[in-house]
Amino acid sequence: MTAGTSIRQRLFFQLAGIAALLSVAFFLVVQVVAERAAEGTQDDILSASAIAIADSLRSEESGVTLELPYSALSMLSTINEDRVFYRVVAAGETLTGYEDLPLPDETPQLGLPTFETLSYRGDEVRSVSVVRAVGPATNLQNVVVTVAQTRLGLEAISRRITATATGVGAGFFLVATALSLWAANLALRPIDRMTGAVTRRGPKDLRPVLAETPTELAPLLEAINSFMGRLRASLTRTEDFIAEAAHRVRTPLATVRAQAEVTHRKLQKPEHKQAIREMIRAIDESSRSAEQMLDHAMVTFRADSLAVEQLNLSALVEETCERLKPTADIRDIAIRTKAPDEPLMFEGDSILLQAALQNIIDNAIKYSPEDSEITVRVDAGADLRLTVSDQGRGFGAGDHSKLTTRFERGGNVGNIVGSGLGLTIADEVARVHGGTLEIGNNPEGVGACVSLVLPRL
Ligand SMILES: Nc1ncnc2c1ncn2[C@@H]1O[C@H](COP(=O)(O)OP(=O)(O)OP(=O)(O)O)[C@@H](O)[C@H]1O
Ligand SMILES: [Mg+2]
């Protein structure tokens, strides 16, 4: 599986990117709006000052005179330590003020103040010019009043606004980023929940997933469930096929075996007898394989949906031993059971447990010499143990753990027929019941000792 990109990361980075964009936009908007407001305030005061000066223009016979109202200029000094300049021009001549203070390029219209930002005496200044018609109606004269002020105060305000806007923007970004992380996690929680619901299941649990999912994930869940449905159907088909195949193989094999036995008896020549014996052995191998494969398929199938019931282990052991007695009797092998008198209750699938125990005892019979004894014990300690010990060849030295693998047979089998599925079945049954299968040599002398260990409820 390749490590793809993470939706959580992508979502987080996208949200954080949006937050960053919004922070920058917020910063720009705050700065522009606040600077405009500050500039507007300066413009208002400047034009009020220019109008106040224009209002004090008088027309006399000698021409236009002006009594400069100092209040007009003092209202400007309230803004920081900015320098103020003014100039009053009548008929092209400077009446008072700074002669080099530039006038607007175009003569402003009557009553409409004209604003300009320009460089004057080494500083940037904001200037306003108003035009007032002064004089008798017959000899009206246009007087231009220009008032200008440096912009140091405005720049200081602008710096303060920038600092504040930067701080607020950065704070907004950090909070938004933290919220993005939280939101990304929250948005993906249903996926985590669904993943949990699927991964918590056992390897054979193919029931539909019923986790609650948001509508967006419903198609995915449906796809998973439909996939599991198909998988389940396919498994069932395979198991049915194995069962069917096993039946179909076993029946004709039994007929062939009977025929071979008859032929064996009739034949005289040792080499012919030997050939038929080998044929019978091959038939036995095939027949056993078919039987065990059928059992294995049954175990695998039942393990999917355990038919759990309360059962008495001691009774189950007695019953299984009873069933195997005829086989043991043929080889003069005695099966002894040692179980506590009181019933030993366990919650499990009796058919599976019987299959497991039957395979373990079957091994004990198969790999023991004639006229020996097999002991089946039921012990209740920290857990429940069904132990089968025999007086046979034992497992020998070395690692026996592989013997629970499918079709794996030991090196101690000699010419005994088998398919290598018995311990696989027993191990699988132990595991689906939450237990284990312990394989070893008999600690009390010769023989093997195999235990089905089940958890106590
Ligand atoms: N009681 C035992 N004594 C000695 N060896 C045993 C005993 N039980 C199992 N084994 C060894 O473990 C191997 C695996 O056992 P398992 O029952 O899985 O297969 P099998 O008996 O060979 O075939 P089958 O599937 O027909 O039972 C055997 O081939 C044998 O070598
Ligand atoms: Mg076996």
Report the chain (457 residues): mean pLDDT per 10 consecutive residues: 74 90 90 87 91 89 82 72 89 88 82 89 91 83 91 85 89 91 89 85 77 86 91 83 80 93 94 95 92 87 82 94 96 94 91 96 96 95 94 90 94 93 96 95 90 92
Atom of ligand 1 nearest to the CA of 416: 22
**Of the ligands numbered here, which is closest to the C-alpha atom of 410?**
1
C-alpha 365/C-alpha 332 separation (Å) is: 10
- At residue 272, the pLDDT reads 95
- At residue 238, the pLDDT reads 80
Per-residue tokens: 445:
């002398």
Residue 395 Cβ contacting ligand 1 at under 6 Å? yes
C-alpha 329/C-alpha 327 separation (Å) is: 5
Residue 288 Cβ contacting ligand 1 at under 6 Å? yes
Per-residue tokens: 424:
């696989």
Give me ligand 1 centre to Cα 334, in Å: 19
- At residue 203, the pLDDT reads 64
- At residue 80, the pLDDT reads 64
C-alpha 457/C-alpha 453 separation (Å) is: 13
- At residue 149, the pLDDT reads 92
What are the CB-based long-range contacts (under 8 Å, 24+) for 19-24? 19/172, 19/173, 19/176, 19/177, 19/180, 20/173, 22/172, 22/176, 23/169, 23/170, 23/172, 23/173, 23/176, 24/169
Amino acid type, 370? E
Query: How would you label 271-296 residue by residue, b for 16+ Cβ within 10 Å and e otherwise?
Result: eeeeebeebbeebeebbbbbbbbbbb
Task: Please report, in angstroms and rounded to a whole number, the separation of the first and last CA atoms in the chain.
Answer: 39
Give me ligand 2 centre to Cα 70, in Å: 119
- At residue 79, the pLDDT reads 54
Residue 392 Cβ contacting ligand 1 at under 6 Å? yes
Task: Output Rg (C-alpha) for the chain, integer angstroms.
Answer: 51
Instruction: Indicate the helix (H) or strand (E) that contains 286.
Output: helix 270-304
Nearest to 414 by CA among 390, 393, 398, 389: 393
| Residue of 333, 357, 363 to test ligand 1 pocket, by largest number of atoms within 8 Å of CB | 363
Give me ligand 1 centre to Cα 423, in Å: 7
Does the predicted TM-score (pTM) go above 0.85?
no
Per-residue tokens: 324:
């195997």
Give me ligand 2 centre to Cα 288, in Å: 10
Question: Under a CB-based contact definition with an 8 Å cutoff, are residues 164 and 172 in contact?
Answer: no
C-alpha 197/C-alpha 430 separation (Å) is: 25
Residue nearest to atom 27 of ligand 1 (CA): 422
Residue nearest to atom 26 of ligand 1 (CA): 418
Give me ligand 1 centre to Cα 410, in Å: 7
Q: List the beta bridge partners of residue 57.
A: 66
Question: Under a CB-based contact definition with an 8 Å cutoff, are residues 16 and 180 in contact?
Answer: yes
Residue 85 Cβ contacting ligand 1 at under 6 Å? no
C-alpha 368/C-alpha 389 separation (Å) is: 10
Which residues lie at CB < 5 A from ion ligand 2?
A: 363, 422
Question: Under a CB-based contact definition with an 8 Å cutoff, are residues 282 and 309 in contact?
Answer: no
Exposed / middle / buried, residue 432 (Cβ in 10 Å: 0-12, 13-18, 19+): buried
Residue 406 Cβ contacting ligand 1 at under 6 Å? no
C-alpha 173/C-alpha 165 separation (Å) is: 12
Give me ligand 2 centre to Cα 439, in Å: 13
Residue nearest to atom 29 of ligand 1 (CA): 409
Q: What phi, psi does 405 have (nearest 5°)?
A: -80, 150
C-alpha 337/C-alpha 403 separation (Å) is: 25
The DSSP result for 16-52, as a single string, is HHHHHHHHHHHHHHHHHHHHHHHHHHHHHHHHHHHHH
C-alpha 351/C-alpha 309 separation (Å) is: 11
**Of the ligands numbered here, which is closest to the C-alpha atom of 417?**
1
Instruction: Indicate the helix (H) or strand (E) that contains 142.
Output: strand 141-150
Crossing angle between the packed helical segments 422-432 and 350-366, to the nearest 10 degrees: 150
Give me ligand 2 centre to Cα 313, in Å: 22
